[in-house]
Every structure is written in C-alpha cells, then in structure tokens.
Amino acid sequence: MIRLAKDYFADQRQDDLKQLGQGLQRSDVPGHVTGKTAYFADRSYPGMLHLKMVRSPHHHARIRSIDTSEAEKHPGVAKVLTHKDVPHNVYTILILIQIGPEDEQVLAADKVRWKGEAVVAVLADSERAANEAAAKVRIDYEVLPAVFDIDEALAPGAPLVNEYHGNNYYTYDSGSHRKVRFGDVEKGFAEADHILEQTYWSSPIEHAPTETTGCIVVPEGNDRFTCYTNTQAMFFTLDNTSIILQMPGHKLHFVGGTVGGGFGGKVDVTVEPIAILASKMTGKPVSFVYSREEEMQVSSARAAEKIVIKDGISKDGRILARKVTGYTDAGAYSRHSPYGAQKGAAHYPGPYTVPNVWIDTYCVYTNRTPSSAMRGFGVTIADFALEVQMDKLARLIGMDPLEFRFLNAYRDGDMKAHRQPTEGAALIECMQEASRAANWPVAEKYLQMSSYGEK
C-alpha cells in the first residue's frame, strides 16, 4: 500500500533511505495485545481515596455561598476541598511561555463561567460515598446571562465572560487579534474578475478517548508525591502543578507515557494539581478519574470556529487577493486557544501563492466548555474552510478544482504571505501522484509542472 516515489527530487538527495517505506514492529504493541501494558489506572492502593468533583450546573453564575458541612459529615468522607485550599488558585497553562494573564480557577471561588466548571472536590473511601457526599454539597448561585457563540460574544453589550481579559477576546501584543499583511489586498480585489466571500462555521469536537482523563497520586515518605497520569503534556502539567500548589518541582514525581487515546485532549492541566493537593492534605493515595460523562462534557474540545474568506480571482484562475478573518471559540478560559488562533493566522492563506493577503484571527471567550488542543488545532478547520472555498472558486470560473489548485500551488522561491520564501515544496508532485491514484484526469501541462523551476 505504501509506495515510495523516489524519482521525485532524486538529484536533491542521496538515496540512503533505510527505514522509510519499511514496516517496523512498534515496541509497545506486544504489551497491548497481551494486556500487559500498564495504564495509569492499572494500579490500586490500600486506603486509596476517590475524588469526585462538584461541578457548576450553570453556564454563567455568581457563587453566593458554598456549604460543605453536610458533605464533610457523610460516612466515608476524608476531606472536602474548596478554592480556599488551593495555594495559587488562578492559573493559565501557557504562563510557562509568558502567555498570560492567569484567567482560570482550579476550584471556582466567586463565579462559574461554564457548565461543568469545578467548584468543590469531595474525597471518600469509595466512589459511591464520594458521589453521595457530593450530592450533599450546597452551592448558592446567582445565574448570570451567558453567551454561547462567537457572534453573541462579540456583539456590543454582550455579558463579559472572563474578567481577567476585560473583553470577550484575547489581547495579543498586536492588539485584539493576530494580523498578517502582505501586498495590497484592496488593489488585488480591484483587479479581480470575480470576488467570492463565504463564511464557514464549525462546531466543537470532543476527542472521546476510550480511556478517560485521570491520575492516581501516591504520597511518598520523603514528602514527595508520585503522580501516575495519562497527561499528554508531562512537563506542562508538572510545572503548572508546581505553580498552582506552590511546591517546588522536585517534590513532584510524574509518571506517564502510556495514554489510552489522547488526540490532544489530554494536554490540559485538569486532574493532577487537585489530586496531588488532596493527597497532600489527607496523606493518602488519591484517584481522580473522569467518568465518561465528564470526559464528554467537561474535558476540553476542539474549538468551534467561524472563518470568513474573501477571495479575488482572475478569470484564468489566479488568486489575486485573499482576506481571511478567523475566530476561535476558546470557551470560558484561554488554555491553548490563544495559541490555536495564532496558528490559524500563520496557516492562512494555505499552500497557495497569493500576492495580496490580509489575515486577522481572534481568540474569543464564550460560556462554553474551554476548548484546547486537538490534532492540528487552529489549522484543521482552517483547511476545511480553505479547501471548500477553493472548490467553490474553481466552480465559479468553470475550472477543474484540481487544475485550479495546480495553478495556485506554492512552489520553491515563491514569497509566502509571512515573508518566508518557499523552500522544499512538493505540493505539485503530491497532487500529480494524487490525480493518478484517484484517476482524476488533469491536463498534460499540469503533469509537466514542478515545484521548482520557472513559473
């Protein structure tokens, strides 16, 4: 099934590929098929406590009061944690690379900003007792108006989702959005024979890993804590836990590596800090594992996006100008979304050479489950929109959609909108192979094209 097309660019490299194109046995699969691979939850400890989270039933509400007294008295309960127990309760993941402000509560103190936000953590000697006690926590909420999509959030007078930002969008060093400016986009539109402006929407997508998010924490005798976790971002999690718990990193021993499906959904810092805090405060091993419902409802999803693309093209099929405004729905908190929106800006205008480009991308806050990483986030939905737009443009001028792409594909030496000259492009060659593999006929002149050489 895999075929190496070595005839392309043969003069640009030595033919010394030994592993590419070869089937190799993966080192972890013998463990998988014999049931011996150890996932974080494949361990249990005597006296282990189970953590259940009391979550906000509201999309947006002020917390008037939290009463845990009945829960604390429930048989089997070891500890009930609130925001008061968390040493540094407001954090943001990317503060590690100086992308602030800190905007998210580990346990909600004064306000909840999405349905499912963590408020109170209950620890008991069985899951059943933890659930029973969680049902006895009394939280008095004053429900606030909420916003559920990008347009609502950016409308004048919209309720403010996240006070730490002051606006319903992230403020970059470049202002309210990320920008790319190249050539003169208005001049390009003026010269175009056709202009097509389209808006594309996507919904959030849950990764739905078969193994839910979780960790097991064991207190060690030397005042250290071992955290068995299925995080996909070991050191982001360790460093953020260190900040949240105000504990030096050498007190925290993270053991991970085997993840039962992640797809980007396990890069956020969600279970570890509170489980370690619970272990520290009780002196006992603690298990905090999302239920399936929590995984689907509470774990971060791929962001919803709104993408407006305006293209000016000539009647012979050249894209002369492309203007893109992209919006990423971060949900209530930043997590990785300011980065996702920025990636979008870096990705447009796609693998095409366009002389005049204008790109704005926004990271927008709404009262929804925080969104975060998922397989090419910031890029995947952008490509969906771009390629649908490419098909529409081809149809507009009666051109074959693949030939239209050949004509506009970037090639070595072309200047990209980000002022990086294109190097090592192989899009033309990939499309040539694809047209053959798919029996999609294109004119001979496109099969003679190359990613380098004259236009």
Partner 1 sequence: MAKKVPVQFTLNGEERAEFVESGATLLKALRERHGDTSPKGGCHQGTCGACSVMVDGDLVLSCLTLAETCEGRDVSTAAGLSQDGVMHPLQRAFLDGFAAQCGFCTPGMLMAAKALLDENPNPSREDVVEAISGNICRCTGYEPIIQAVLSAARANSHVAA
Partner 2 sequence: MPLSLQSFPTVGEAQSALSAGAARYMGGGTLVVRAANEGDLSFETFVRATDRSLREISVADGTATLGASVTMAEIARHPELSTIASAARAVGGPAVRNMATVGGNLFAPAPYGDFSVALLALDATVHTGGRELLIEEFLAGRDAFDGIVTSVRFQLPAADAFRFAKVSRVKPKGISVLSIAAVIEEAADGTVGAARIALGCMGDRPMRATAAEKALVGKTLTEDGIADAVAAIGEGTAPLTDAVASAWYRGEVLPVHFRRLMLA
CB atoms within 10 A of CB 80: 26
Characterize the bridge pairing of strands 138-143 and 90-91: unpaired
* Residue 176 in the binding site for partner 2 (CB under 8 A): no
* Dist. CA 154–CA 173, nearest whole Å: 20
For partner 2, the binding residue among 43, 64, 128, 375 (CB under 8 A) is 128
Strands (E), 45-92: 49-55, 61-67, 77-81, 90-91
Taking CA 294 as the corner, what is the angle to CA 288 and CA 298, rounded to the nearest 5 degrees?
105
Residue 201's DSSP bridge partners are 306
Structure tokens at 452: 């380098």
At closest approach, how far in Å is the CB of 424 from partner 2?
41
Binding piece for partner 2, criterion CB under 8 A, among 121-129, 150-158, 190-198, 314-322 = 121-129
* Listed residue (385, 315, 376) closest to 349, CA to CA: 385
Minimum CB separation from partner 1 for residue 21, in Å? 15
For residues 311-340, which are near partner 2 according to CB under 8 A?
Answer: none
Site size with partner 2, rule: CB under 8 A: 8
- Min CB(52)–partner 2 separation in Å: 8
What amino acid occupies position 408? N
Q: Which does 441 bind (CB under 5 to 8 A by kind): partner 1, partner 2, none?
A: none
Structure tokens at 85: 């127990």
Note whether 135 binds partner 2 by CB under 8 A: yes
Residue 224 binds partner 2, judged by CB under 8 A: no
Classified as helix, coil or strand, 260 is coil
Site map (CB under 8 A) of partner 2, residues 275-294, x = contact: ----------------x-x-
Spatial distance between the Cα atoms of 240 and 245, rounded to a whole number of angstroms: 8
CB of 196 to partner 1, least distance (A): 34
Residue for token pair 């366009």: 354
Q: Which two tokens stand for residue 400?
A: 């074959």
Distance CA 67, CA 431 (A): 63
C-alpha span between 371 and 327 (Å, rounded): 13
Work out which of 103, 104, 117, 132 binds partner 2, going by CB under 8 A. 132
131 contact, one of partner 2, partner 1, none, CB 5-8 Å limit per kind: partner 2
Residue 52 or 323 with smaller CB distance to partner 2: 52
Nearer of residues 129 and 394 to partner 1, judged by Cβ? 129
Residue 32 binds partner 2, judged by CB under 8 A: no
From the list partner 1, partner 2, none, partner contacted by residue 84 (C-beta under 5 to 8 A by kind): none
- Would you tell me which residues interact with partner 1 (CB under 8 A)? 25-26, 28-39, 41-42, 44, 126, 128, 207-212, 258-263, 291-292
Which one of partner 1, partner 2, none is in contact with 210 (Cβ closer than 5 to 8 A by kind)? partner 1
Contact 50, 123 (CB under 8 A): yes
Interaction of residue 272 with partner 2, rule CB under 8 A? no
How far apart are CB 307 and partner 2 at their closest, in Å? 25
Rounded to whole angstroms, how far apart are CA atoms 287 and 279? Answer: 9
Selection from partner 2, partner 1, none that 132 binds (CB < 5 to 8 A by kind) is partner 2
Q: The tokens of 424 are what?
A: 């090592």
Interface residues with partner 2 (CB under 8 A)? 126, 128-129, 131-132, 135, 291, 293
